[in-house]
Every structure is written in C-alpha cells, then in structure tokens.
Amino acid sequence: MILGFNHRSALAIYKREVARAWRTVFGTIISPVLTTCLYFIVFGAAIGGRMQEVGGIGYGAFIVPGLLLLTLLSESTSNGSFGIYMPRFTGAIYELLSAPVSVAETLVGFVGAAVTKSLIIAGIILLTANLFVDYHIVHPFFAFFYIVLVASAFSLFGFILGLWADGFEKLQMVPLLILTPLTFLGGTFYSIDMLAEPWRTVALFNPIVYLVNGLRWTFFGQADISIGVALGLTLVFLAGCVTAIWWIFKTGWRLRD
Amino acid sequence: MAEPILQITGLEKTYPGRGAAPPTRALENVDLDIRKGEIFALLGPNGAGKTTLIGAVCGLVRPTGGTIRAFGLDLAKDWRKVRSRIGLVPQEMAVDIFDTVERSINYSRGLFGRPADPARVEQILRSLSLWDKRDAELRMLSGGMKRRVLIAKALAHDPDLLFLDEPTAGVDVELRRDMWKQIDLLRDQGVTIILTTHYIEEAEEMADRVGVIDKGRILLVDDKDAMMKSLGRTEAQFALDVPLHSIPADIARDGLHLADNGMTLCFRGGDGAGGGRESVADIAQTLARLGIRYSAIDIRESSLEDIFVNLVNERPEIAA
C-alpha cells in the first residue's frame, strides 16, 4: 500500500493484461503495420500523387496523424473492452470482485495495460509511415503527451464498453458502427476546410474532428481547430469516462448482482 | 466464548424482478455466526441461497439489508482489510484457460495485495499436487486439476477464512475423497472453512457444525453430532417367521409397531447416540426369550440426509 493505493494489486492486473496481449503479439504488431501500409499505398501512392498540398504540407505527410489516430482509437477501444469483457464472459471476474481492489487500482491495471499496448502500436505505425513518407514532428513531447491522453481516454471508453456489452456482437458494434464512421468522416484523410457548407459545420459536431486536429497540431504546428479546444474536449471525454466507470463500480452495475 | 470470525446479522437479499417476473427474495433475515477454526457446512437444495450468501460476504452480491462482520470488522466499512483475509473457491470453473498454473496463482496473490513469494507459491502448488503442472496452460488440465487450481488461487494470499462453494459438485468419488483430505489439511493449518454442499454425505463427513438453509432462510444451525443426537433415530425391522397379531407386552415400548400384516416388527426411536441400538438389542433378546423367531434384522441409523429431508418437509410453508 502506498498512500492508500494498493500498488501490488494494480501491478498484478497490469502484468497479467500485458501478458495476455503478448500471447497474441503477432497479430498485435502485424495487423496495424499491414493496415498502415495499405492506407499509404492507397491514399499516399495511388491517390496522394494527385492531391495538392494541404496547408503547405504534402498529402502523404498530412494523413500520418489521421492514420495514427485511426488505429489508436480502434486499438485502445478494443484493448480496453476485451480486458474486462473476457473475465465477465468466462466468470473469472469473481476473483477481481472478491479481491481488496479499488476502482483506481482496477483502472490503473486494465487501462494502463491497454494504453501500453496502444503506445507500442503507435510507435510501430510511426516507424512504418516513415518508410513511405518523410515527416517531421514539430512538437514531439506534446505529440507523445497527446497520444497518451487519447489512448487513455479511449481505453477507458473501451473499458466502459466491455462492462456494458452482454455479447460479442455488442462489443464489436460500437467500434464498427460508431467509431469507424466518425473517424473516417472526422477529417482523418482531409482537412475539414475542404468541405463545403453546411458539411463543414456538421463536421464540427463530430468529436473525432477535434482529436485529429489536436494530433495534427502537435505534428505540424497548425490545424483546423485550435489546440486548446481539442485538448479541452479530450480531457472532458476522459473525465466523463472515469466518472462513468466510478459510478459503475459504486453501483455494481453489470458487475455485482 | 471468543468473538466469531464471521458474524452475519439480519442479512437480506432481494433480486429485483425482470419484466413480468416478481422480485425474488434470495436471503431472508439470515443470522449466522462462524467460529474460528471450524469447518462449517451450509447444506441446502439447489436454489436455497447458499451461493448468494457466500457472494454477499465475498463481494459478488450486494446485500439489500443486514450487516456482515468479519475478524471483528464491519465489511461495509473495512472491506479492504476484510476481503484481503478471505478466499473464495467458486462453484464454476471460471478461469482464464490460456494462463499457466503458476502465473495464475501469482496473479491471485498479487491481486490480493501480497508481495511475490515464490517459495510460498511452490508450497501451495505442491500441497495440491500441482507443482509438476505449474507451466501447463489451464486448458490442458483435467476437470479435477482445474478445481485444484481454483483452490490454489484462493489460497494464494493465505486467507484466514475460506469459502468453498460446492467444492465437489460433479467430481468423481476418488477426487471427492481427495478434496476432503485437502480441506482437512487446511483446517489443521488453522484456516476456518465454510463450505456449501447439497451432498449430505459431505457435511456428515467433514463438518464440525452444519447449517441447513432452504428458500433463503436458515432453518437450523447446530453441531453436527448434537444435530444427529437430537434428531437422529435408529430404525430396525425384524422379518418375522410367523405373523404376530399384537405386540407382546414384554417388548412393548414407544416407536414399536407391526407392519406387513404382522410379518414385520418395526422400531423407530433412540437419539442417534447409541440409545436406539441398545433398544434394538433388548428387543432382539426378548424376542429370542419369548421364542418368537425372525429370519432377518435390518437396522440403520438415520443419516443427516433424513434429518435434512425431514427439516425441509416439516415446514410446508417454505417447502411448497
């Protein structure tokens, strides 16, 4: 116990979750690398050559933050959700529920592991992208911080999903039917300034727009949306997720009869 | 008497109704004290509330009323301290089947906030004959082995109070004997054990005290021996060679009657502590003296099972 925080419990969960990811290490690494390569081949080589620069940045480099975010969102969400859904599904959750573990420790363990995995994948994607295009990150520390923030927020979101879902179908539904469309429509591969009205205004209701632009700002020092707004919204989302999880554990919803 | 290690007072659990289904009262005003170092068997039919009761103590079920105190602490307030000293072996094989045995045990120990201790983990694995399987994935193990892993996981943090929910449900006779031996060993190490079972034989074999639960209510709690003594009976049947029309005055006593048109002399009585058998011996000697011949005596002590069935049936309002 350190300051009322049971670090051993949190560490036990963290290590176990990282080990679980390690069991599927091949798919973990190969799949994002392959996806990134495919996107670069299609958007970078095939289409990118005909695209003009966006705000003075070559199109190939322009899509790097968007591509990174695309994988970051889906990987963080699925890592966060599977970690807690599987023990609920198999019944092994009894052990966690009967253990002297607080919400904070549970989250540090589960979400920490999901974030770790997401960060490793983010690193791999950035290296892979470097094979296709030259890009330079203007604010590398800020970029790292922002990636950690987004990975944490969406791992938490995934955790909620894993608590909410009562079947594998539901578990897949939200990433597939909500997250992927929003990401594609959120300016991953374009600047929303390219959109005609009213679509530009409509796009502003898509939260992913802010995430993409926040990350883009850390890369290039410029974006459609101010970094302050993007950062603020990301933090609000993160705080909302933590509150929801705290409520779930307090009321026992979907956890305790 | 020392303070009980676990003290349950007025425990209530009502599951909310779903749709048209009315709410279910799974536990009704349950009072139960568990003494330090004993093996307590909670006996009851399926759906009696055994698992709910365990769940309420172990944090899987949220009680709707009542208090639970363990080790002198209020569970609602000091849940962390209390839970770190309780172990639970669940009824179902709920494990991550891709984990290895040793990793799974280490995880359990860490989860309960204990520092890594390879020597202790080895000791636990050896005591359950799991050491040779420590690197095996759980999915490769037999059902019996998996069950031992569940016990090892529950023991990984050296609990003082151990719950075993139907530890031998669905296991073969040999494994059941083996499990009983393990439980006995744990008691020798000073662990207080609460086990639920619907095998009366198990309670009879293992327990110091027995509680009978049915329809969410504790019907009776007593020392097993005292329960057998107060509720136990000796039953004897003499198969007569020649039918009797009435019971001879020399053997007349309570609990004696004729059946099968006088072909069988039946006795039911005693106290489960030898008194009944004495009566039977006395009846047999008297019959011999009177020259009443019989071809067989069938004698048996009523078991905990009979007591249990009687208890549940004698209360029609809850056995309905």
Query: Which chain B residues touch A4 with a CB distance below 8 Å?
Result: none
Q: Is residue A238's pLDDT more than 70? A: yes
Backbone angles phi, psi at B65, to 5 degrees: -175, 165
> Domains of chain B (ranges plus CATH)?
6-85+160-229 (3.40.50.300), 233-301 (3.30.70)
The Cα–Cα gap between B2 and B37 comes to 12
The Cα–Cα gap between A212 and A194 comes to 15
Query: Which chain A residues touch B95 with a CB distance below 8 Å?
Result: 90, 92
Cβ within 8 Å, pair B103-A19: yes
pTM of the model: 0.83
N-term to C-term CA, chain B: 38
Cβ within 8 Å, pair A12-B107: yes
The Cα–Cα gap between A81 and A78 comes to 5
Closest chain B residue to the Cα of A252, Cα to Cα: B62
The Cα–Cα gap between B33 and B5 comes to 8
Beta bridge partners of A131: none
According to DSSP, residue A2 is labeled B
Would you call B316 helix, strand, or coil by DSSP? helix
pLDDT in tens, chain B (320 residues): 578 999 999 999 999 888 888 898 999 999 999 999 999 999 888 888 999 999 999 999 999 999 999 999 999 999 999 999 999 999 887 888 889 999 999 999 999 999 999 999 999 999 888 999 999 999 999 888 888 899 999 999 999 999 999 887 777 777 788 888 888 888 998 999 999 987 777 887 889 999 989 889 998 898 888 877 766 678 889 999 999 998 988 888 888 889 889 999 998 887 656 678 888 899 999 999 999 999 999 988 776 667 777 777 765 444 33
Token digits for B287? 């019959």
The Cα–Cα gap between A135 and A114 comes to 27
B97 touches chain A (CB under 8 A): yes
Query: Which chain B residues touch A11 with a CB distance below 8 Å?
Result: 110
| All structural domains of chain A with their residue ranges | 7-251
B62 touches chain A (CB under 8 A): yes
Starting at the edge strand that comes first in sequence, how are the strands of the sheet with B209-214 ordered?
B86-89, B161-165, B192-197, B39-43, B209-214, B217-223
The Cα–Cα gap between B34 and B2 comes to 11
Cβ within 8 Å, pair B94-A13: no
Quote the mean pLDDT of chain A. Answer: 87
DSSP H helical segments within chain B, as ranges?
Answer: 50-58, 79-83, 101-111, 118-127, 143-155, 173-188, 200-206, 224-231, 275-290, 304-313, 316-319
ipTM confidence score = 0.87
